[in-house]
Amino acid sequence: ETGVTQSPTHLIKTRGQQVTLRCSSQSGHNTVSWYQQALGQGPQFIFQYYREEENGRGNFPPRFSGLQFPNYSSELNVNALELDDSALYLCASSRIAAYEQYFGPGTRLTVT
């Protein structure tokens, strides 16, 4: 069984730029959630995708957007990057109606 994978591992961007992060869900999982984890904090829920539709969103502005593809992989896009967007971005997959979520290794984004 293949686990959750994310790419890239690390990324450095400049304030104002745009970034796309990618996630492949675990085999058999059809739901993908994205979380932002700032240094020394717990992960914060950004949004979740199921059947290629957004299925809930946390307290993040519209410049955070996402996509889910028919193979259940997903992208997180962030426009107009701000310094505070520097964080570890985590993708988690699960089966719909299952509360256990399985996380990938994360993408560490640094905004300078």
- Give the rounded distance of the alpha carbon of 2 from its chain centre: 18
Considering the complex, state which of residue 38 and residue 80 has its C-beta at the smaller distance from other proteins: 38
Alpha-carbon span 37 to 108, nearest angstrom: 9
Contact status: 45 vs other proteins (CB under 8 A): yes
> Is the CB of residue 88 less than 8 Å from the CB of residue 107?
yes
Task: Work out how close the CB of 16 gets to other proteins at its nearest, in angstroms, rounded to a whole number.
Answer: 27
Tell me which residues in 24-43 interact with other proteins (CB under 8 A). Answer: 31, 33, 35, 40-43
Single out the residue of 26, 72, 85, 106 in contact with other proteins (rule: CB under 8 A): 106
Side-chain half-sphere exposure of 87, counting CA atoms within 13 A:
22
Contact status: 93 vs other proteins (CB under 8 A): no
Contact footprint for other proteins (CB under 8 A): 4, 6, 31, 33, 35, 40-45, 48, 55-56, 58, 88, 90, 92, 94, 96, 98-106, 108
